[in-house]
Amino acid sequence: MKLSNFPHAIATAQQKLLNLGKDLTIVRNQLLLEENSIDQAIAFSSDFKNDSQRKTAKAQMLQESALYQSLTQNLAGLTDKYNRVDINLQLVKNNFTVAKLEMRERIAKMETLVA
């Protein structure tokens, strides 16, 4: 890759990371809404007499919630994708640094030949 192409590649990876970060925030908020909905249903139910029963009911309701399970899987997939894009971004940045150092080395060698 040419030295001049690296800034664009870095910016592209950063934009992907930003978009994935936004998607992660949305899914996390949706998970919280689902969890709060279940908490609310448990809080207003007279079926549960103590915290232990409420915690057990919450765990069971979360496990049975198709939406919660789907969001959890979506979150895991997005987190994995975010991490892969972040690794790619670091790789592009590192390659850019190496390319700059190699260019400086070539310039230094040419200067010593001229001098």
- In tens, the pLDDT along 43-74 reads 888 888 899 999 999 999 999 999 999 999 99
Cβ(14)–Cβ(96) under 8 Å? Answer: no
Q: Which residue has the tokens 């592009």?
A: 92
- In tens, the pLDDT along 89-99 reads 999 999 999 99
Helix axes 66-114, 6-43, angle to 10 degrees: 160
Angle CA(7)–CA(103)–CA(86) in degrees, nearest 5?
A: 35
Cβ(28)–Cβ(71) under 8 Å? Answer: no
CB atoms within 10 A of CB 85: 20
Q: So where are the chain's domains? A: 3-114
pTM of the model: 0.83
Angle CA(43)–CA(49)–CA(53) in degrees, nearest 5?
A: 80
113 band by pLDDT with thresholds 50, 70 and 90 = confident
